[in-house]
Each structure stands twice: as structure tokens, then as C-alpha cells.
Amino acid sequence: MVGGRRHAVRLVAALLGIGVVTAVLVADNGVRPGSLAALVGDFPELQSSVDASIGIALTPVGGRGAALELGEWRSGPAWSTMKVPLVIAALRDEDRPVVSDEMTVAITQSDNAAAEAIWAGLGDPPTAAGKVEAVLSETGDPTRVQFRRVRPEYSAFGQTDWSLPDQATFLAAAACDHRDAAVFALMGRIEPDQRWGLGTIAGTPFKGGWGPSPAHRYLQRQMGVITTPAGSSAVALAAEPHSGASVDGISALNRIAAWLRDHLVMLPRGHCPG
């Protein structure tokens, strides 16, 4: 029967323009081809309901492989979402890992000064970038971390070009690493004034990031782990509103989160090994 499921998903993938490997990955994690078709088929309605360029990447927690991608937005500056692997790298760098006050506020409040202090504590910029890259690499994420201040008013690491599928890949593996449990716990304690988008889905650990382009047009990003009735899904979101206004990006993420909540049973999901 597995072969039949794969054949059916390949047909769906061909009709909808979804990569075959991605579609097979979804099918092998408990989502029937019909559910995949419905999920992808419902996306245009979501897209038309927001005045923004949006993107979504989804992959089963515990899975290794290509993420399911929806939307036209795919990659850009990580902004504060990069604080998650940064804090993980800082914990890895300690002989006896302890979550510091700086780590706590860097995640829960997205405190930039705290994150910069953590970055400085990892060594000179190339060394710090290498340590964060090592955290990403062990999850299968090939992202190269920016160590130069390409925009002087912002952190170097926050300007890393981090794609949605790579974010989802990172989260899907990191969520299963016991060493990262403390960081995911912090992601479950985001301050109320930053709990939009994924923060409106109960029980979802997440981290957001946002900032303006050189043309002062805002990008809103989030990544998190959504619990479904049959497992967990690592998800990365982005919205670049046509107005350029941050508030409109927030509204778009809220709409995406509501759509994901309405489609929980269709999301690619998995479990940590063991």
C-alpha cells in the first residue's frame, strides 16, 4: 500500500507543482495524498486574503528531508529568529550549560543588547559565526552565518540569509535534541506583546524576527513547532506586506497562523526518535 500512496502523492505533486521528494516525505509521515492535495489546494485562498508576499515551510519533527514549501517568499534576513541557534551555540560553549539572564531575555523579549553580548562571548565575529553554523549544520541546515555588519545599525548574525525550508529543517531536528530543551522552553515564554502569528496557537514554542529593508519596508518572520493531533510540525513563516508597514506584516502572520490552525490535521507531522 505504501507504493500506492507514493504513486498517488507523485500525481498530486505533478498536478500542483510540488517537489516529488517533499510530497513523499509528507506521505510517509501520516498525511494521506488527499490531505496534501487539500492543504496545497487551499493555499491560494489564504494568499489572496493577505496583501503581502508570504511563504510557509513545513516539515515533520524528527524528520530529515525536504520541507513542504508554500508561497512565493522563500529567503531573506533572519532578523531575530537567528537568536535561537545563537543561544543554543552559547549553551554548547559552556562546560556546564546554564541558561543566563541574557539568554532568557534574548529569546523571550528579543532583546538585541543581550543577543549582541552573547555573540561577543562566542569569540571574534568569524569564530562566533562558526559556532552558530555548527549548531545549524548538525541539523542538516547548510546556512552560512553572516559575521560582517553588512548594515551597521543591525547585528551581523541577524542579517544572515536564512531560508524558510532551512529554518524548518533546523527546528525539526533541534526539537528532538535534549540539549536544546531549555531553549525551546524559553520559546514557550515569549512576552505577550510579541505573541502574534504562531503565538496565537496554544502550546506552540516559537521565535519571531522583524526589521526593515534598506528601503524601509518591513519583513516579519517566525518559526516554531506546532502540535497536531498526530504529531508535531516544524514551521517557518514570512510575510513582506505590500504596504511595507510592520503592522500589516503582523496581520498577515496572524492570518497564516489561523489558516494553519484550521488545517492541523493536514500538516506534515512526526515524532522524535525513541
Question: Where does the pLDDT of residue 20 fall: very low under 50, low under 70, confident under 90, or very high at 90 and above?
Answer: very low
Q: What CATH homologous superfamily does 36-263 map to?
A: DD-peptidase/beta-lactamase superfamily (3.40.710.10)
Phi then psi for residue 245, to 5 deg, are -85, 135
Question: Where does the pLDDT of residue 10 fall: very low under 50, low under 70, confident under 90, or very high at 90 and above?
Answer: very low
Residue found by looking up cell 504513486 in the block: 7
* pLDDT for residue 1: 31
pLDDT tens digits, 136-190: 999 999 999 999 999 999 999 999 999 999 999 999 999 999 999 999 999 999 9
* Rounded mean pLDDT, 36-49: 93
pLDDT tens digits, 72-122: 999 999 999 999 999 999 999 999 999 999 999 999 999 999 999 999 999
Under 8 Å between Cβ of 220 and 250: yes
| Set of cell numbers at residue 219 | 519583513
pLDDT for residue 263 is more than 60: yes
Question: Where does the pLDDT of residue 3 fall: very low under 50, low under 70, confident under 90, or very high at 90 and above?
Answer: very low
pLDDT for residue 18 is more than 80: no
Q: Could you give the angle at the alpha carbon of 204 between the alpha carbons of 246 and 143, nearest 5°?
A: 65
Q: Could you give the angle at the alpha carbon of 265 between the alpha carbons of 35 and 206, nearest 5°?
A: 125
